[in-house]
Amino acid sequence: GRLILACALLLCFAAAPLCAAPPRRATIIVDTDAGSDDLMAIAFLLARTDAPIEAITVTNGLAHVGPGANNILRLLELAGRRSIPVYMGREKPLRGDAEFPQEWRILSDELPGVQLPATTRKPEARSAADFLVARLRDTRHPVRILALGPLTNLGEALRRDYSLARNIREIVIMGGAVHVPGNLNDGGYLKTDN
């Protein structure tokens, strides 16, 4: 699994010159919980010239917010994309307390076996929700949001000003579970109540 992630990251960057550049579209804000699957998706986008990432916001989910943000910064270092800002969200969901199994969270925090360079960069001082509110108020520049984890950052921003939703040109959500107890039906293997 971890070797596959490392190989996929390298392939994404190696394939960058193969990507054609169609007409420029709205920039992308990636909202992620920094799981290894999200890192692969972000690496794929970073390798493309037709998917301009404006910012990355990190929410609590598969990885804890601090370690997840650090892993995103390390991925940006590998990609040579230090100009993309990273914003950290809240440590807890807006409501509820269901979390991924702790073992999964530790693996997402530490990424054992994945070689990413160290970085001296830190996440931005402004919170993810503060950034999203300010950014969505800028109606002159359209934005697309790719939500790869819980929607806590976006939920917090829209809770402050719901009218900002109309300033999002497109939102793509890698959804989990709706109207069910959780999204980890593993047949009883992990004994989780998420």
The predicted-structure confidence for 26-43, as pLDDT tens digits, reads as follows 799 999 999 988 999 999
Stated pTM of the model: 0.81
Give the range among 3-12, 26-35, 45-54 with minimum mean pLDDT.
3-12
- Enumerate the H helices of 80-170 as residue ranges: 102-110, 128-136, 152-160
Q: What residue type is assigned to position 167 of the chain?
A: N
**Cβ contacts of residue 34 below 8 Å, gap of 6+?**
58, 61, 62, 63, 67, 68, 69, 71, 72, 108, 149
The per-residue pLDDT for 142 is: 83
* pLDDT band of 24, cuts 50, 70, 90: very low
User: In one letter, which amino acid is 52?
Assistant: P
**pLDDT at position 171, please?**
93
Distances in whole angstroms, Cα of residue 95 to Cα of each of 11, 47, 126: 38, 36, 22
Predicted local distance difference test score (pLDDT) of residue 8? 53
**pLDDT at position 7, please?**
47
Residues 107-138: tens digit of each pLDDT: 999 999 899 999 999 999 999 999 999 999 99
SS3 of 180, please? coil
Query: What's the order of all strands across the beta sheet hosting 143-147?
Result: 86-88, 53-58, 27-32, 143-147, 168-173
Q: What long-range pairs does 20-23 form, CB within 8 A, spacing at least 24?
A: 20/49, 20/50, 21/49, 21/50, 22/50
